[in-house]
């Protein structure tokens, strides 16, 4: 970590300065373990921002990737391919949704869902086009998704933003009701807000939003880019809250770090006509073969159940730490999407101290850590990671 390596020098010289990077160069991964270029090992509680659902280089993923790479990598969506059809069937048969569109990322899936909602508005709601989203949400980095994302820090540098989005308070059904007008065609929400601070819905909120959308004929879109594929302890986040959305988007987690995005919709909401949406790379055989293998494994091996059990275990261990260290203000989460909130701005210092001790952990805000490990995490790995965190917290001077 001390000497700037060649890759770090090259990156800083040749790449745009879009993120303050952590000075570690990873060269290898296996399961929850990562190796840096000096041979130091780390336990990974971040999993590439909640994407690496089966950890690093899982044999099932590597096998699907290498087999498909030797067979067929890409053809256009003008033709049929086997991996695409198989993954579509698998996702539909294991969800409440009926139809699938494949793309390459979370932001792109959300963009497509917004276009779908605008078609819905055009066809069913006299041209309504506005989408209600929530404050502290995160929907991706494209220009339209920046408008959808209710956080000033992402929006400010890019004003003027595309119109047609209203950001209202989360967990507040009245705010959605007040923002609804004859122009509204959809509501888009994360079942649990991830990037915005691991904010959980009240027990009634999502049901109330569902009822309101039904009353007004609005599409209910769940952005499950982070919460989907087992992260919350069920295959999809909507199952945790007993609310069926009309549309969901997925990305992180489906192919355990290989890029893929998905829009899924109920039959009645699948309103694209030929030519109204498209993609060159989306749904390519390579991404879909990996997505299929990973998704099949997640279902067959009951990975969401492990996420639920291990999430409860981490949370209980963190609550014990909270009892010992009063500067831990709150521990909250669902499945393996967990936040540790401090009552002071020590999260970055804690993150760096953990890194030094060989634990990769995500600091989301000055006072907030997020724990989003691969979903295959074991009790032993949790004990090791929490042990490192406790050692670090014990040494914090505040």
Ligand X SMILES: *Cc1c(COP(=O)(O)O)cnc(C)c1O
Residues forming beta bridges with residue 26, ordered by sequence position: 36
Closer by beta carbon to ligand X, 258 or else 272: 258
Closer by beta carbon to ligand X, 169 or else 301: 169
Q: How many whole angstroms separate alpha carbon 20 and alpha carbon 13?
A: 14
Choosing from 53, 166, 208, 226, the residue that interacts with ligand X (CB under 6 A) is 226
**Least distance from ligand X to the Cβ atom of residue 23, Å:** 23
Q: To the nearest 10°, report the CA torsion of 74, 80, 85, 88.
A: 80
Closer by beta carbon to ligand X, 190 or else 381: 190
Is there binding between residue 56 and ligand X (CB under 6 A)? no
Assigned token pair, 211:
């009822």
Q: Which residues contact 299 (CB under 8 A, 6 or more apart)?
A: 90, 94, 235
157 burial via Cβ count (<10 Å: 0-12, 13-18, 19+): exposed
Give the residue at shortest CB distance from ligand X.
Answer: 106
Asked if 109 contacts 320 with a C-beta cutoff of 8 angstroms, the reply is no
Q: For residues 238-267, which are near ligand X according to CB under 6 A?
A: 251-252
Is there binding between residue 298 and ligand X (CB under 6 A)? no
Choosing from 111, 223, 308, 341, the residue that interacts with ligand X (CB under 6 A) is 223
Q: Among 119, 70, 51, which Cα is nearest to 294's?
A: 51
Is there binding between residue 272 and ligand X (CB under 6 A)? no
Residue 398 CB: number of other CB atoms within 10 A?
11
Is there binding between residue 194 and ligand X (CB under 6 A)? yes
Closer by beta carbon to ligand X, 103 or else 388: 103
CB under 6 A: which stretch of 36-44, 150-158, 188-196, 236-244 binds ligand X?
188-196
CB under 6 A: which stretch of 198-206, 222-230, 343-351, 369-377 binds ligand X?
222-230
**Least distance from ligand X to the Cβ atom of residue 46, Å:** 13
Closer by beta carbon to ligand X, 149 or else 306: 149
Choosing from 44, 52, 130, 190, the residue that interacts with ligand X (CB under 6 A) is 190
Q: For residues 101-140, which are near ligand X according to CB under 6 A?
A: 105-107, 110, 138-140
| CA 165, chain centre distance (Å) | 21
Q: Which residues contact 29 (CB under 8 A, 6 or more apart)?
A: 35, 44, 52, 55, 56, 57
**Least distance from ligand X to the Cβ atom of residue 227, Å:** 7
Is there binding between residue 52 and ligand X (CB under 6 A)? no
Closer by beta carbon to ligand X, 221 or else 286: 221
DSSP structure string for 43-54: EESSHHHHT-TT
What is the maximum span of the chain, computed from C-alpha positions, in angstroms? 62
Whether the CA torsion 242, 243, 248, 251 is positive or negative: it is negative
Which residues would be at the binding site for ligand X (CB under 6 A)?
105-107, 110, 138-140, 190, 194-195, 223, 225-226, 251-252
């Amino acid at each position: 970590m001390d000497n700037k390596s060649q890759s770090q020098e090259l990156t800083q010289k040749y790449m745009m300065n879009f993120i303050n990077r952590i000075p570690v160069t990873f060269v290898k991964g296996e399961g929850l373990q990562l190796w840096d270029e000096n041979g130091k090992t780390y336990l990974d509680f971040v999993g590439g921002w909640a994407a690496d659902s089966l950890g690093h280089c899982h044999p099932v993923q590597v096998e699907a990737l290498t087999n498909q790479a030797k067979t067929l990598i890409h053809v256009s969506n003008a033709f049929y391919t086997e991996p695409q059809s198989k993954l579509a069937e698998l996702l539909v048969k294991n969800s409440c949704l009926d139809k699938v569109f494949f793309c390459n990322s979370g932001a792109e899936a959300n963009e497509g869902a917004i276009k779908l909602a605008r078609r819905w508005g055009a066809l069913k709601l006299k041209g309504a086009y506005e989408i209600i989203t929530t404050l502290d949400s995160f929907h991706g980095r494209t220009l339209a998704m920046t408008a959808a994302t209710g956080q000033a820090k992402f929006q400010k540098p890019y004003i003027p933003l595309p119109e047609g989005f209203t950001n209202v308070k989360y967990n507040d059904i009245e705010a959605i009701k007040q923002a609804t007008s004859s122009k509204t065609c959809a509501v888009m929400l994360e079942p649990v807000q991830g990037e915005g601070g691991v904010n959980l819905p009240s027990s009634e909120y999502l049901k109330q939003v569902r009822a309101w959308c039904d009353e007004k004929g609005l599409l209910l879109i769940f952005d499950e880019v982070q919460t989907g594929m087992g992260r919350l302890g069920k295959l999809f986040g909507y199952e945790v809250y007993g609310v069926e959305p009309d549309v969901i988007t997925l990305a992180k987690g489906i192919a355990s770090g290989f890029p893929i995005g998905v829009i899924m919709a109920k039959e009645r909401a699948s309103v694209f006509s030929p030519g109204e949406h498209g993609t060159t790379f989306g749904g390519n055989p390579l991404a879909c073969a990996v997505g299929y293998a990973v998704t099949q494994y997640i279902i067959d091996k009951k990975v969401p159940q492990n996420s639920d059990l291990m999430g409860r275990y981490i949370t209980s261990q963190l609550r014990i730490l909270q009892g010992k260290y009063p500067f831990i203000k709150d521990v909250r989460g669902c499945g393996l999407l967990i936040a540790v909130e401090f009552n002071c701005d020590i999260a970055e210092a804690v993150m760096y101290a953990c890194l030094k001790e060989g634990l990769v952990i995500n600091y989301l805000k000055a006072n907030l850590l997020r724990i989003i490990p691969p979903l295959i995490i074991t009790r032993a790995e949790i004990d090791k990671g929490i042990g490192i965190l406790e050692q670090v917290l014990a040494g914090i001077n505040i």
